[in-house]
Structure 1
Amino acid sequence: MERRVFIAINLPEEVLDAIEDSLRRFEDRGGVRLREEFRFVPKENWHITLSFLGGQAEDAIVKIIAAMQEIASLFRLEPLSFKNICFGPLNRPPRMVWAVLDTPGSAVLARMKTALEDQLEAIGVRFRREHRDFLGHITLARRSVGGHLRTRPEERIRAIFTPKTIDLMESELRRTGAEYHLLQSAPFLL
């Protein structure tokens, strides 16, 4: 049996709270009917996705965990800082609401993502690799209706944290939305 998995950075509660406060201010900006036009992701599901790996058999999951542990042991992460809440993808019609990392934070995670995906390919884990620039973000909401948005507000965030682990997550799709479960964590170099 395969499990639908992804590798992510999970966030501490105080960072989730700061993002939630900023999201409320973002919603209050004039002309945006977010609750009518977007489906919000539950706060407990907020994370930064590094790599979506799709359906994986148990033997592949063992390999994925080993690769995560190896790569995490090579990285000592500095504090990551969120920049703002905005519509995503950037420079395209808005389909989501994102909390976006600043450029240095995204660059660090992009290097780690590349190293991790290189290692996964080298050990024979099959997945579809994305070939676009990585932008570290949390998806806060997804657009549920079409149409043109009159405004495109942004809201600054004051949320800084130092990740302690990368996490292998399982995604179970339900009628009510995806449910995420932590399968394994790999600690970063201290």
Structure 2
Amino acid sequence: MIPRGENAGRLYLQCPAGDSPEQWPDQRIWSELAARFGTDVPSGKIIDKRIVPLRCVVYSPMSHGRLYLLGDAAHIVPPMSAKGIHLALYDTEVFARAIIAKIKEGDASGLGNYSDTCLRHIWNYQAFAAWLTELMHNAGDASYEGDFRKEVARAELERQFSSEAASRLFSELSAGLL
């Protein structure tokens, strides 16, 4: 769960891609969450339901002539990783510094390197987002490599709690420190 204030949170529940929100009434969602967590879960009002494609997209290069792509126009990460705004702000900072250098100092190197600078950072977080999405969303799907994948996911999750190095890496990536 991703906290959204004192009394709210955001949960992602994997469902078939062809489903619609109408096929998921509140009671079905709470029942499915309880089944997946293996325990009763506190229920409440569900204020928003969406079917969200879990996809990664990166456009490279992120510029063409005087056109520069920033944020979702240049790359999309699955919402599970919560890195969309982080990457958009990074792009914006790199771009703003490049524009300021061009205007104040006549130095266009930042604009020339904009795409390469951003893409190094983006691919690091795309790898994190793909790993996290794979871990959380495909691990329980029996049609996706069955019990083998489920046990690999369990081992990866347990490593987050038993290995200081794995925990530190996950924390740094989650916080956007790398």
Query: Greater CA radius of gyration, 1 or 2?
Result: 2
Give the structure-1-normalised TM-score.
0.24
Bigger proportion of residues as helix: 2
Give the structure-2-normalised TM-score.
0.25
